[in-house]
Amino acid sequence: VAAQTIDEAQEIRFVVTGTELDQEDLNQISFRMENLPPGAAFDAATHTFNWTPTYDQSGLYNNLRAVMTAGKLSDTTTISIQVNHVNRPPVLAQVPDQTIAENQLLSFTVSGSDPDVEDAGKLAYTADNLPEGASFDPATRTFSWTPSFEQSGLYPGVTFTVTDPSGLSDSKQIQITGTHVNRTPDLLAIDNQQCAENSLLTFQLSATDPDAEDAGRLVFSATGLPEGASLNPESGLFEWIPTFDQSGEYSLTFSISDGEYSDQIPVTISVAHVNRPPVLDAVAPQTVAE
């Protein structure tokens, strides 16, 4: 039997034959095989060898022996089978979608496996389409990201890949969701205010919010507003004309709110008394006798 070459997971089948020169021994011929590889079989009735090597059976099998017996005599031949390694792609373990709040660390490790023992310890890992500021360490297979306060939103198509030395690979895509973290708005401080009775007092409140999501949502409010005073909740404009009976000091608290968090500042308004001239009541004409 000629030397055989086969790939892993491919069937090999051949028939062992022989020649007997003595006619009287023709009915006594038998065949057997020795040192069969694990999983191989030999059918003595049909003289057929059959084997499908597994993916873990690559290598040279050069000690198979086919034995032909006729009567008391036998003959042996050695058969060599070379099983070639068949590379299979590695498999990257499924990575679940991730959710992380702004300014919080997201860190996780990916893993892969290879059905070929020949590739043990030789797999390479990469990552693509990462969000800005994210990193992937191929040595530790670790993804790390701390999204900034401006990075809430969806990040689809983040791709991780494992590759074996032959270039076969497997990839998985995930979506990362960055959730918004609300921050407190800031109401800018103003000086205490002074005005006189019957004079217009007006000033503008100003506020900032570090969250772009809160643009147009800020609301101004106040506690302790004097009678007749007004504060525009959208613009923050304060207006008041105190009457001649409203001199004194007024302690107010102004607030800015984004609907969840708020900031306050205290302001004192001093209304100065305005002195007005007295008014003499009218005197009726008088009559007096001599």
What are the CA-CA distances from residue 90 to residues 29, 83, 120 (Å)?
Answer: 49, 21, 10
Residue-level pLDDT at 75:
86
Interatomic CA distance for residues 253 and 98, integer angstroms: 43
| Domain of residue 8, residue span | 4-84
The domain boundary, picked from 141, 160, 179, lies at 179
How confident is the model over 164-213, as pLDDT tens digits?
999 999 999 999 999 999 999 999 999 999 999 999 999 999 999 999 88
Asked if residue 130 and residue 77 are part of one domain, the reply reads no
Residue 290, domain member (yes or no): no
CATH number, domain of 243, equals: 2.60.40.10
Asked if residue 20 and residue 74 are part of one domain, the reply reads yes
Residue-level pLDDT at 215:
86
What are the CA-CA distances from residue 35 to residues 9, 32, 65, 78, 215 (Å)?
Answer: 20, 10, 7, 10, 81
Q: Is the pLDDT of residue 18 over 90?
A: no
Asked if residue 224 and residue 240 are part of one domain, the reply reads yes
Strand 142-145 versus strand 135-137 pairing type: antiparallel
Residue-level pLDDT at 247:
98
The domain boundary, picked from 20, 55, 84, lies at 84
How confident is the model over 27-62, as pLDDT tens digits?
668 889 999 999 999 999 999 999 999 999 999 999
The overall pTM is greater than 0.75: no
Residue 96, domain member (yes or no): yes
Least confident of 172-186, 193-207, 217-231, 268-282: 268-282
The stretches of the chain forming alpha helices (DSSP H) are: none
Asked if residue 21 and residue 50 are part of one domain, the reply reads yes
Least confident of 17-21, 101-105, 261-265: 17-21
Total number of domains in the chain: 3
Residue 201, domain member (yes or no): yes
Residue 257, domain member (yes or no): yes
Residue 283, domain member (yes or no): no
Residue 288, domain member (yes or no): no
Asked if residue 136 and residue 68 are part of one domain, the reply reads no
Asked if residue 60 and residue 40 are part of one domain, the reply reads yes
Confidence of residue 69 (pLDDT cuts 50, 70, 90): confident
What are the CA-CA distances from residue 62 to residues 8, 40, 65, 89, 121 (Å)?
Answer: 16, 14, 9, 29, 30
Residue 284, domain member (yes or no): no
Place of tokens 């070639």: 84
Asked if residue 76 and residue 101 are part of one domain, the reply reads no
Least confident of 34-43, 102-111, 234-243, 275-284: 275-284
Q: Is the pLDDT of residue 21 over 70?
A: no
